[in-house]
Structure 1
Amino acid sequence: MADLLDAAQLYLDGRFADGRDPGFAVEDPATEEDFAHAPAADAAQFDAAVAAARRSFDAGVWASVPLAERVRLLAAMVDVLDGVRDDLVRTVIRETGTPVRIAGLLQVDMALQQARQLPALLATLPEWEHNELPLDGHIAGPAGHDVLMSIRRYEPCGVVAAITPYNFPLQPAVWKVFSALAAGCSVILRPSPLAPLSVLALGAAADRAGLPPGVLNILPEPGSAGAELLTSDPRVDCVSFTGSTAVGRRIAAQAAPTVKRLVLELGGKSVQLYLPDAVRNVGAGVAAVFGAHAGQACSSQSRVLVPAEAFDDAVAQATAVARAMPVGDPQDPATAVGPVVSAAQHARITGLIADAVDAGARLVAGGVRPAGLARGHYLEPAVLTVDDNANPIAQREAFGPVVSIQAYRDLDEAVAIANDSEYGLSGGVYSADVRAGLAVARRIRSGTVLVNRPAANAYTPMGGIKQSGIGRERGVAGLREYQEVQHLVLGPLEDLR
């Protein structure tokens, strides 16, 4: 594992520990070779992690630390991670197949930047606020002379179970861990078994920075038994999960008997809707889907909607882009599209394409294994055209380098098509007239709608409506997810004699 992170142990109650279950192999999706061995926590270790987190929170060893000091220690964690930045990049390329041309920026640098910014943002927020009572609501007592204070105080929500995905292993881990820790919570982090190595670096950073034992625990596993313990254990107060809607539903059901707080960032089937004056940009928009980690992003704008009169032009642009983008070895700086993460995901995507064609879609580019790449989970970027929004490719999340193109007659129909989905995570509207784009964007039922360009950073919230999730990550809204509101009422003691 030269030049890769040393991730041979899990992090439990302030100590590095061997997994008790046999470890599991981590595959390089570009070569289909097992390049590393990850430690596997067993049920007893998950139970011990929950107990440690519960103990550390209830004892106040972290929650009672002043916020400014928590922010300082979390910044020290980022300093440690900055010191292994290049190793993180190399590791995440091997785990996920992200092309080297974007891995540093999207996989690591953005994560480390947000790890600094999220705690700093929380430090700017009030720790308590007056409730918005009318003036006479602050006056108590029969004589009207006693002053009453009614305030809301923000306190940590407790023990947080964080369950993260494979596609961008560090970014969601940072959003959850650094937000929850900044708030004063204790955390058990269970990374995806497909990409656990880079996430384990957070344990080494916590240890070097001097976080108290039990405050952060990181436990990989090859299956789901530990995650199910976290989502059902009454000692856990909050479950924060990023992943598919199907798994999110199961987590919600497992958490329901103990009425846990939930932060669920789930699937998406986002649109890129072009007004007539912006159709010339379709090629660039499609390239952004293919080039952002082979479409393996929950916010991927994989449904392209264009005016009927510009349909042929849009298809020609998308087809040209799909055929021109280099697919191959993610270590090669020329590669624009790397592999998808696993053989199972490759089969799921090609199966969805086949279902779409069977239902009437037309495959106009890609969707097959590239010539000359016999090994690796590679797929040529696929472009399909559809004339029925009920088609599987218009409704089901591909999570791969796949876009569909559909025509609309007018903006009312475009908005109806955009909203005809069980998902509501993200989307984009494109127009030279920003006001016209904004008017359409406001009609789309989605947690985020971009007009012409993105703004995804520590200060902006991320999350969905409908079956794309509950709650928010990042920004003020995301930080407040890990806090409870306590109502405090203060007034003079009445003479009870």
Structure 2
Amino acid sequence: MNAEARLLIDGELVEATGGATYPNLNPATEEVLGQVADAAPQDMEQAIAAARRAFDTSDWSTNHAFRHECLQQLKAALVSSMDVLKQQIAAETGAPLGICGQSGPQCELPIAFIDYTLASLPDYPWSRDLGVNEIMGGKNKRLVEKEAIGVVAAISPWNVPLQINLAKCIPALAAGCTVVLKAAPDTPWSATMLGRIVAEQTDIPAGVFNVITAQDPAELGDMLVADPRVDMVSFTGSTAVGKRIMARASDTVKKVFLELGGKSANIILDDADFDTSLLSALAVCFHAGQGCALNTRLLVPGHRQQQVEERLQTYFGFISYGDPSSESEIMGPLINERQRQRVLSYIESGRQEGARVLLGGGIPPTLKKGYYVEPTVFVDVTNDMVIAREEIFGPVLCVIAYDDEEDAIRIANDSEFGLSGSVWSGNEERALAVARRIRTGTINVNGGNFYGPDAPFGGYKQSGIGREMGREGFEEYLETKTIAIAV
């Protein structure tokens, strides 16, 4: 697959210290795809030092035109490498090829999203004049300047690795930061190929962008988060790990961006078109449910539950899976056996708590290879059950009945998370009014889709801090300085 096995440190593609490697597995076949560098603490030390030196001693942070030129080179190189990237990403994530194309977030779309940054960067207001004020007996001209925050630790997950690598690294680089990207252990090639492209096909200076891969992320991740030379941590992953990162980063009072878990509610109001709105429940199968913003709680009127069950049994029959080369399937395997066992344990927990399995609930008997779990739908779920409270990260849907609109809003907001959601109604104004009462960072109305390079993404409550993408995502990587000049 023409994969890249090496690290990128200080402008050079290098092996890990001692030549250590680990295998990259295909979760759809359970076969070894190839090897990748297994970095040691010495490698992380060198990467941090290189990023710090590049920020402090080069003009990367102030030469806006040069950064724009380098990012144009990067976009062009990614486009020219698209076919190879799609094959690698599909293989290491297990995602069917179809969702690595234009219909999904795994490859083509996030590369196209770079155009938003390229278009907006030249016109960004790096400085604004507040005018002259008179205070404490003197007159002052005031300027507000925007500056790169410094060295950024970008720590990415395995579910949509290229999308999140780019969503972190492109705005950070555009802002003038230097970056150490620590890849998820299960999807290293999505980062190492980015490192190769930067090294071989752009003029990005040595040390500005560094890539680290390691089989055990804990030790190197802790080094990166705790190091005082790192000015910001941008992390996407589980809420539990995000809490540890936030606590560790507090020792040096560095900024953290956290995009964490979700337990989003899909609210079908009683006047919605059920034939259309219930089709949206199939999204829980997208990439085997391995998406933090997927709607995993389906809220339906209690008096229509039988109708809902009949529709879901029909609709979930439309889902086919098991062919990694498919251009039409949306569901693949879970990322590894550990994650499959985790999902199966949640399914068993749902049974023990009294929820009823409407369909699915186990390992598909026809697939002898791959970390697959059947699309699973629970009914008779109450919002206090573990399967309704915790993020499962698998193709598992919880159907929860509500009494009336106020009850639906209460249930939707009764969660530690607040990442996304959906509302369906025959009356758009009614749906919009409900959407505005849901405590989430993103929400779709009547089949809308918030996903786009200009749309800020992030969560309320324990779903995270800050925003990714859009202007807000770019400004996460900036500091604000106020300058006063005596008049």
TM range (shorter): over 0.9
Letter in 2 for 1:401: P
Q: Secondary structure at the match of 1:56?
A: helix
Cα distance between partner residues in 2 of 1:76 and 1:52:
22
Cα distance between partner residues in 2 of 1:141 and 1:388:
61
1:382 aligns with 2:367: no
What does residue 312 of structure 2 align with? 318
Report the more deviating stretch, 26-35 or 15-24: 15-24
What does residue 111 of structure 1 align with? 110
* Deviations 1:30-73 (CA, angstroms, capped at 9, x unpaired): 111111111111101100110010011011331121x2321121
1:101-140 correspondence to structure 2 within 5 Å: 101-105=98-102, 106=104, 107-131=106-130, 138-139=133-134
Cα deviation for residue 128 of structure 1 reads: 1.5
Asked whether the 8 Å contact 2:225–2:249 carries over to 1, the reply is: yes
Cα deviation for residue 432 of structure 1 reads: 2.4
Cα distance between partner residues in 1 of 2:202 and 2:298:
46
1:213 aligns with 2:213: no
* Deviations 1:100-127 (CA, angstroms, capped at 9, x unpaired): 1221222111110122322432333211
Report the more deviating stretch, 407-416 or 147-156: 147-156
Asked whether the 8 Å contact 1:424–1:445 carries over to 2, the reply is: yes
Among 449, 457, 463, the alignment partner of 2:458 is: 463
What does residue 198 of structure 1 align with? 190
Cα distance between partner residues in 1 of 2:119 and 2:433:
34
Cα deviation for residue 280 of structure 1 reads: 2.5
Q: Tell me, which stretches of 5 or more residues in structure 1 are unaligned? A: 493-497
What does residue 416 of structure 2 align with? 422
What does residue 149 of structure 1 align with? 141
Among 18, 23, 26, the alignment partner of 1:25 is: 23
Letter in 1 for 2:39: A
Q: Tell me, which stretches of 5 or more residues in structure 2 are unaligned? A: none
Asked whether the 8 Å contact 1:164–1:241 carries over to 2, the reply is: yes
Asked whether the 8 Å contact 1:61–1:212 carries over to 2, the reply is: no
Tell me the percent identity.
Answer: 38
What does residue 431 of structure 1 align with? 425
Cα deviation for residue 289 of structure 1 reads: 2.2
Asked whether the 8 Å contact 2:263–2:415 carries over to 1, the reply is: yes
Cα deviation for residue 370 of structure 1 reads: 1.3
1:240-389 correspondence to structure 2 within 5 Å: 240-278=234-272, 279-290=274-285, 292-389=286-383
Cα distance between partner residues in 1 of 2:145 and 2:275:
51
Asked whether the 8 Å contact 1:163–1:240 carries over to 2, the reply is: yes
Cα distance between partner residues in 1 of 2:401 and 2:123:
46
Asked whether the 8 Å contact 2:226–2:252 carries over to 1, the reply is: yes
TM-score, normalised to structure 1, is 0.94
Report the more deviating stretch, 71-80 or 228-237: 71-80
1:486 aligns with 2:481: yes
Among 91, 94, 99, the alignment partner of 2:96 is: 99
What does residue 168 of structure 2 align with? 176
TM-score, normalised to structure 2, is 0.96
Among 433, 443, 453, the alignment partner of 1:449 is: 443
Asked whether the 8 Å contact 2:442–2:450 carries over to 1, the reply is: no
Among 82, 85, 92, the alignment partner of 1:85 is: 82
Cα deviation for residue 140 of structure 1 reads: 5.6
Cα deviation for residue 141 of structure 1 reads: 7.8
Q: Secondary structure at the match of 1:52?
A: helix
Asked whether the 8 Å contact 1:359–1:391 carries over to 2, the reply is: yes
What does residue 215 of structure 2 align with? 222
What does residue 58 of structure 2 align with? 60
What does residue 403 of structure 2 align with? 409
Letter in 2 for 1:220: T
Cα distance between partner residues in 1 of 2:117 and 2:350:
41
Q: Secondary structure at the match of 2:418?
A: coil
Among 64, 69, 92, the alignment partner of 1:72 is: 69
Asked whether the 8 Å contact 2:54–2:208 carries over to 1, the reply is: yes
* Deviations 1:1-36 (CA, angstroms, capped at 9, x unpaired): xxx232121110001101125211111011111111
Cα distance between partner residues in 1 of 2:381 and 2:183:
39
Q: Secondary structure at the match of 2:397?
A: strand
Asked whether the 8 Å contact 1:119–1:179 carries over to 2, the reply is: no
Q: Secondary structure at the match of 2:107?
A: helix
* Deviations 1:446-489 (CA, angstroms, capped at 9, x unpaired): 11111121121110001011110011100111110000000111
Total equivalences in the alignment: 480
Cα deviation for residue 330 of structure 1 reads: 1.4
Cα deviation for residue 169 of structure 1 reads: 0.5
Cα deviation for residue 201 of structure 1 reads: 1.7
Cα deviation for residue 326 of structure 1 reads: 0.8
